[in-house]
Amino acid sequence: MTSFADRVRETTTTSGTGNITLAGAVTGFQSFSSAFDLNVEIEYAIEAVDVNSVPTGDWEVGSGYLSGASTFVRDMIKASSNAGALVNFAAGTTKNIYCTFSGQKSRQTQRAFDSQYGLP
């Protein structure tokens, strides 16, 4: 089962397609480690931003989990700017990573609700 929490957002400068090293919560938000236990599925989105915090176009949405207090494992990609595959994030850029409710999860939830209540 996927876990969700409100106002979870951190930054990272991790590059490549591997695990994300979390750099701490953005002011006004909570960290992943304060919101979630280890090894619990978390819906997330990550986006690369420029020095003015404007998105650069590299992004992905998926589910993953914390394997340590500051290590986020990208487990399953649901959509991305790389045709649905892991994004190879560039070195030297900041990325925002946050908890989200993906469109795919929303559709699954709606189908389950409709099925339970006999809706078309």
Instruction: Give the chain's length.
Output: 120
Residue 101 has what pLDDT? Answer: 73
Residue 4 lies in a domain: no
Work out the angle at residue 59's Cα, subtended by the Cα atoms of residues 24 and 93, and round it to the nearest 5 degrees. Answer: 55
Residue 29 lies in a domain: yes
Any residues with CB less than 8 A from the CB of 115 and at least 6 apart, and which? none
Residue 62 lies in a domain: yes
What would the pLDDT profile of 75-86 be if each residue is shown by its tens digit? Answer: 999 999 999 999
Residue 28 pLDDT > 90: yes
* Domain span at 37: 9-116
Task: Indicate the pLDDT class of residue 3, thresholds 50, 70 and 90.
Answer: confident
| Number of separate domains in the chain | 1
Residue 89 pLDDT > 70: yes
Between CA 4 and CA 97 the distance in angstroms is 14
Task: Indicate the pLDDT class of residue 22, thresholds 50, 70 and 90.
Answer: very high
In this prediction the pTM is: 0.84
Residue 2 lies in a domain: no
Query: Residue 7's Cα: distance from chain center in Å?
Result: 12
Q: Which residue has the tokens 């919560």?
A: 25
What would the pLDDT profile of 63-76 be if each residue is shown by its tens digit? Answer: 999 999 999 999 99
